[in-house]
Amino acid sequence: MERTERPTTSTRDPDELRDRLEAWLARVLPPGAGPSVSDVEVPGATGMSSETLLFEAAWREGGDPREPENPKKPENPKKPENPKKPQNPKKEALVARIAPDPSAVPVFPVYDMGRQFETIRLVGELSDVPVPQVRWCEPEGAELGAPFFVMDRVEGEVPPDVMPYTFGDNWFADARPEQQRHLQHATVSVLVRLHGIPDAATVFGFLASPHAGDTPLRRHVAEQWAYYQWVAEGVPSPLIERAFAWLDDHWPSDIGPTALSWGDSRIGNVMYRDFEPVAVLDWEMAGLGPPEIDIAWMIFLHRFFEDLAHDLELSGLPHVMRRDDVAATYESLSGYAPRDLDFYCVYAALRHAIVMSRVRRRSIHFGEAEMPDDVDELIMHRQALEAMLAGTYWSNI
């Protein structure tokens, strides 16, 4: 049985990070701000790439305690007879996203925190897609020993990765079917609104892949090939290379429009309140390409968790994020019918295979697993990818 506990992801000391954050805030805030940092926490429920640090910060503005940007006014405001003196500075709940230390054996070869910061900022500015407000970016990152950016913390719930939400006993799995359908519909709507940002190829030109290719899709796939070669480290995966060859043999004849691609478009990267998305998270895989890249990733990543539940003879959530339902919802909301989903779902499974191969290699590095005799066993969803290449995967669901 595959491991389902959380692998090693961080090598940093939260107490040291707190002291460094406090010193950094003292430099970026105006003189006299007197910042303090508290309640530092490294969440452990999701994510295996960039490090996430939750913390609270308090500081003064103009010598007075900082007030909320949009304080709620009383219904019947009255001037107090004896106004109180300023109290302690207001605490702001913040999140730092930090590029991983090389000693953590990162999932990706490059972590461009400035690019992530700018992507989130522009999405918030140009659409109504809910993203956290970004505050500061330190692309050099001397203060924390790695590049990072800071954004506001949003309160909500995320479908867990560990244990996977399809295993049950969590807020999403235990919800009523109509609530689960509402979440699915609302999340597909996020993709529609994201892909609807006009002139994405120009506005998000900094996300364009530098790899060779005559279309954004060709360049996207070429970038994945380069990523695979970095992960393989001279030990090739026959299955992954067979999947790349399959893509070449089944290349779409009619490629859709170029859109901003979230990249890691799954419900486990969305924060919800009352089953409505309130924060779209994790933009390190963002790029440019056809909408189907995100649509297929959302479909397959749920299917990946669903297959894990099925292997353990759990009931899972087979009625959620079904391929045809997601495609139909996307079309009804956008007027655009997703095409060539067989191709894009194989591409999603291939991309995930490369990521999972790297994740397993990290586990081996940290002594949490052993290198298998067959390198393709590093791919947790090996059987699913093989069935996709054989054309039998979706017919068995």
By annotation, the residues acting in catalysis are 264
CA distances from 146 to 142, 218, 226, 367 (A): 6, 32, 24, 25
Instruction: Name, in order, each residue with C-beta under 8 angstroms of 253's C-beta and a sequence gap of 6 or more.
Output: none
Tokens encoding 88: 């302690």
Give the start-end residues of each E strand in the chain.
Answer: 36-41, 51-58, 60-61, 64-65, 91-98, 134-138, 148-152, 259-261, 270-273, 276-280, 287-289
Tokens encoding 104: 């953590």
199 with 133: CB under 8 angstroms?
A: no
Closest CA relative to residue 256, chosen from 313, 295, 308: 295
Q: Quickly tell me which residue has 């998270």 as its tokens.
A: 281
Instruction: Name, in order, each residue with C-beta under 8 angstroms of 285's C-beta and a sequence gap of 6 or more.
Output: 262, 263, 264
Instruction: Name, in order, each residue with C-beta under 8 angstroms of 259's C-beta and a sequence gap of 6 or more.
Output: 194, 195, 197, 200, 288, 289, 290, 291, 294
DSSP codes of every residue in 134-150: EEEEESS-TTTTS-EEE
117 with 149: CB under 8 angstroms?
A: yes
Instruction: Name, in order, each residue with C-beta under 8 angstroms of 216's C-beta and a sequence gap of 6 or more.
Output: 201, 208, 209, 258, 288, 289, 290
In the chain, what is the greatest distance between 2 CA atoms, to the nearest angstrom? 79
Q: Show the CA angle centred on residue 66, arms to residues 70 and 78, nearest 5°.
A: 60
Q: Strands across the sheet with 36-41, in order?
A: 36-41, 51-58, 91-98, 148-152, 134-138
